[in-house]
């Protein structure tokens, strides 16, 4: 049975650190300390199959106007079985109750997962900016 938790203390940090730092192209080499801090400072969503963590995502949000969806990861053994959709269904249902104005995300390969939820390329990329710290690890 699949269950979703937003309890930061429920996150299996060993599982999450290993998966992000070795299997997620955007987080390769990420330290355990960084993984622990991102869980502590975000709204984590963990999917469990009979008590074993199989997926993760997090929102960085004020729960009022803006959210950034990040670190969406489904264990390879569970991909293609609707786990990502289940996770996004829950996240979007929560976000709908907050009255957000905008949710952002970045993806290199999962556009088809996010499109049905209304995500699209930003219509005004000339208005969005970012700052990178290239010397900081992922």
- Digit-coded pLDDT (tens) for 107-131: 999 999 999 999 999 999 899 998 8
pTM of the model: 0.94
Residue 132 belongs to a domain: no
Residue 134 belongs to a domain: no
pLDDT at 64: 96
- Domain hosting 73: range is 2-120
| Number of structural domains found in the chain | 1
Residue 133 belongs to a domain: no
2 phi and psi angles, rounded to 5 deg: -90, 135
pLDDT at 91: 98
Q: What is the CATH number of the domain that holds 61?
A: 3.40.630.30
Q: Which residue would you say has higher pLDDT here, 125 or 93? A: 93
Nearest to 51 by CA among 4, 9, 117: 4
7 pLDDT above the threshold of 90: yes
């Amino acid at each position: 049975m699949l269950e979703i938790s937003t309890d930061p203390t429920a996150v299996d940090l060993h599982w999450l650190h290993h998966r992000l730092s070795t299997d997620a192209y955007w987080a390769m080499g990420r330290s355990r300390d960084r993984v622990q801090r991102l869980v502590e400072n975000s709204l984590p969503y963990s999917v469990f199959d009979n008590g074993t963590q199989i997926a993760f995502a997090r929102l960085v949000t004020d729960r009022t106007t803006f959210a950034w969806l990040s670190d969406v990861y489904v264990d390879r053994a569970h991909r293609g079985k609707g786990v990502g959709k289940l996770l996004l269904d829950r996240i979007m249902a929560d976000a709908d109750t907050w009255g957000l104005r905008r949710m952002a995300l970045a993806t290199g390969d999962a556009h088809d997962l996010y499109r049905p939820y209304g995500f699209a390329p930003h219509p005004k990329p000339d208005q969005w900016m970012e700052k990178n710290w290239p010397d900081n690890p992922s």
